[in-house]
Amino acid sequence: MLAPVESTGAPHFDFAARAWFARLNGTINAPSSAAAVTIEDDFDLDDSQVVPLLTATARWDALALVVNGFWSSIDGSTSAPAAGQFGSVAFGAGDALSSSADAWGVAGDVVITFYRPYAADRHPWTGDDAPAGAQPPFADLRFNGLVGGHAVSYEQSVTDLTTTASDSIDLSVITPVIGGGIELDLDLRRNVDWLGHLRIAATAGWGPGVEAGDSLWFVRADLSLDVLHNLAITGGYRLLNWDAAGNGDSMSGSLQGLVAGLELRF
């Protein structure tokens, strides 16, 4: 039987500012009937970039609201490795290409803890026989489900410097998502006085786009360590993958990489 989730008292709020060391990858068909070109091979836009990533969380009892946002911008120049097409730009092998890409995304998730093994019995022993002053368990474990809405917008422009032809695409995906995750909270103060809590979390989700052919899925992994009462250093990994179509064009893109930053708790 699943353990009930005890009340944790007043709500609390977290705000995290992270740097996402992300790489952009993907294939583009512009128009959709044209042969695919790749962001990394044809336009050399896959260098690691520092993407600002902001997260705000409000949690009370078994319910949490998590809002994420990021924005990415990169440009580059290269010689086309082979002939290809990007919209009205038909480039030949060896043509000098100048490209820029901008992406941003927002996500809002409602997270519900449906199983918390240590919530009903906060002591290593059972019943009401716990000695006075007994400490709560070393670990707190949560299993979560989530529902939400995500949106990603992607714009890219390409100029063939050899022929002076240029064109751009603008694609977006909006999707409801479902998913789940796990959180582990370790209280390190028992062994090291100056440390606080070590928190480990992993979350994944997927959703079909509002428009036909669109979809999105993501993976988040986080590790945070309290260094002050309300300040934690945090790191982890993010993968965001999306498929989008519109205006006669289509693409499958992704941003992925390590993250690092700071988290404030109120």
Residue ranges of the domains in the chain?
12-265
The answer to whether the beta carbons of residues 57 and 66 sit under 8 Å apart is yes
Q: Which residue has the tokens 């990169």?
A: 74
Interacting residues of 89 by C-beta distance below 8 A, sequence separation 6+: 158, 159, 160, 163, 165, 166, 167
**Which carries the bigger pLDDT value, residue 61 or residue 250?**
250
Q: How confident is the model at residue 166 (pLDDT cuts 50, 70, 90)?
A: very high
Q: What is the pLDDT of residue 124?
A: 45
Q: Summarize pLDDT for 172-199 with one digit per residue, the tens.
A: 999 999 999 999 988 776 666 667 788 9
Output the CATH code of domain 12-265. 2.40.128
Q: What are residue 35's phi and psi, to 5 degrees?
A: -65, 150
Q: Which residue has the tokens 């952009």?
A: 24
CA 178 to chain centroid, in Å, comes to 14
| pLDDT tens, position by position, 100-152 | 999 999 999 999 999 988 765 554 444 444 455 555 556 788 999 999 999 99
pLDDT at 243 over 90: yes
d(CA 222, CA 233): 11
The pLDDT assigned to 126 comes to 43
Confidence of residue 227 (pLDDT cuts 50, 70, 90): confident
Cis peptide before 31 (omega within 30 of 0): yes
pLDDT band per the 50, 70, 90 thresholds, residue 2: very low
In three-state secondary structure terms, 235 is strand
> Does pTM surpass 0.75?
yes
Name the DSSP letter for residue 124. Answer: S
